[in-house]
Structure 1
């Protein structure tokens, strides 16, 4: 896509941070609503089926910055980033930010009133635009040694929202297990034709990257899909860490089950891919592609089966001890 794109969104950039809410127990929906209201606004989105989920209204952040490019070409973006905070299952906290990029018809900076009237959109000023290059440069930006602090930074906006909720005095700060924060950086190239992808890569330091091609009408679905991928990637990553830390196969069953118990009580029931995606073919197609490779659900089921096998072995061992005591 080396030519100047036609009017309308030609690229969407986003970032999602996922973390365990600093609470010893899952919060009820009403308490979650009060937490996300810290971000501002009153129009909370609330769902209770098939899993409890609340989301804050969108908040806007003005940007006037460069976009990362492979060859260092000057590409300027001016507009607003749209962000929101969500809590799923009373346990999982997510903050997401995204911006839809459009070519500037004026090819120059306009008054801020023009950009404020177009929430979640930024106009791009450049001599030439290559959507694929901008997408790859964005998702790989912070992974490069020569990262430029003057380019679009969705990470700082998203981090601030997560931290604002986690600092709430309503949280007892006694999380049931130790879990890190993950970051998903995603880009959706808008083009004619069918949806392609997604290409999900697990990077170091808790960073994941996702690139997909979509149609303009599918932009909202792609955003929801990215949030869903980030949530389930966090669940899988955390469960793998819990299993590794449990010393399964290297310690007695009782100690292993003590270490696995928080995951059983607080995480296993949260695995519901596509639960909140719209019932259109695009969302289903994207998840089918992701399940083929890398196969997140297969790995999740394998982990759950290992935990259940440990539970069965622990139960057998306990019965054996009881029978031995009775036979004495």
Structure 2
């Protein structure tokens, strides 16, 4: 289970690949993953964050506690988009004795559950939109990773004054199961999305995390461009003003759409199912073509105005 926070890198020019790699260098001595193709991508090494708290199981008569470490990381895509991720695997243990921290640090990304509970209850508790204030909050750990990157962005450069976009949060739960079931992706509100995946035991957890990050990125792109198009008020405002409001989408976002690029074959199969159900790419194509149509109208209008009569 985990959570991904996605947002626009703080208001400056797009980061070069080398500068982005420096921003996400969160662990001294550990290498940063850097890719230049098919688009610029820099990802921090993962670092463990210790947790010891209730897990938020929806069963007030029982106390279920989690002790262990969460893996935290950050990434920058295309020099424009920053993501913070936190995730962990829950493993039940017998007994209630707490081990020395060296025991938990030796198993990075594993949270041991203390107390009687079923996997379905843990999944339901974590996926719930409303959670107890003292329950494990992976979103806060993910947000911290993103905030560290944002705070490290140097001053200077050309400010993106016309582009202010909110973060989105994708909370994901993966249940190990021998029975195949399609992934479920729900948009809860303007910011929160919920993803529930059933996967076989032999699928690497990191590939599933990569899929969740990729889905979070493209959901954020779709949400952001849809908001820009809505604020452009096409047909209600003068064409020049609509084009002025649409331009940031062209400058910063339209070229970043490339779903299914992370997580290998398991991610590609999951993407196919999500696409059939949520039609993210079809929505994107409609928005992209609408923006291009407005740009074409603007070019025709400019050409007509410049042509002597």
TM-score range, shorter chain: over 0.9
Q: Which moved more, 1:301-310 or 1:62-71?
A: 62-71
Determine the structure 1 residue equivalent to 2:218: 232
Q: Which of 291, 303, 306 is the aligned partner of 1:319?
A: 303
Deviation at 1:105?
4.0
Judge conservation of contact 2:207–2:262 (CA < 8 Å) in 1: no
Q: How far apart are the structure 1 equivalents of 2:119 and 2:304? A: 64
In the TM superposition, residue 217 of structure 1 has moved relative to its aligned partner by: 2.3
Cα gap change, 1:40/1:295 in structure 2, threshold over 3 Å: closer, same or farther? farther
C-alpha displacement at 1:71, in angstroms? 2.2
Kindly report which structure 2 residues correspond to 1:110-121, keeping only aligned pairs within 5 A, or say none. Answer: 110-121=99-110
Matched with 2:66 is 77
The aligned runs of 1:50-129 (5 Å cut-off) are 50-72=38-60, 73-127=62-116, 129=117
Runs of 5+ unmatched residues, structure 1: 1-12
- Residue 132, structure 1, aligned to residue 120, structure 2: yes
TM superposition score normalised by structure 1: 0.89
1:204 deviates by 1.9
Q: Residues 172 and 74 from structure 1, CA distance in 2 versus in 1: closer, same or farther, beyond 3 angstroms?
A: farther
Instruction: Decide which of 208, 225, 244 is 2:193's aligned counterpart.
Output: 208
Contact 2:10 2:153 in 1 (8 A): no
Question: How big is the shift at 1:25?
Answer: 1.9
| Distance in 1 separating the partners of 2:305 and 2:217 | 41
Tell me the TM-score normalized by structure 2: 0.94
User: Shift of the alpha carbon at 1:216?
Assistant: 2.4
Match of 1:178 in 2: 164
- 1:236 to partner: Cα distance: 0.3
**What's 1:298 paired with?**
282
Deviation at 1:262, TM superposition (A): 1.0
1:198 aligns with 2:187: no
- Equivalences for residues 240-251 of structure 1 within 5 A: 240-251=226-237
Unaligned runs of at least 5 residues, structure 2: none
Distance 2:185 2:6 in 1: 16
Deviation at residue 42 of structure 1 after TM alignment: 3.2
For residue 41 of structure 1, report the CA deviation from its aligned partner.
4.3
Distance change in 2, residues 1:258/1:267 (3 Å): same
Tell me how far apart the structure 2 counterparts of residues 158 and 41 of structure 1 sit (CA, whole Å). 21
Q: How many residues in Structure 1 have an aligned counterpart in Structure 2?
A: 305
Separation in structure 2 between the aligned mates of residue 295 and residue 133 of structure 1, nearest angstrom: 30
* Secondary structure of 1:24 counterpart: coil
Contact 1:44 1:55 in 2 (8 A): yes
Deviation at 1:251, TM superposition (A): 1.3
Which residue in 2 is equivalent to 1:267?
253
Equivalent position SS for 2:2: strand
- Mapped to 2, the partners of 1:265 and 1:322 lie a distance apart of 25
Cα distance in 1 for residues equivalent to 2:194 and 2:200: 20
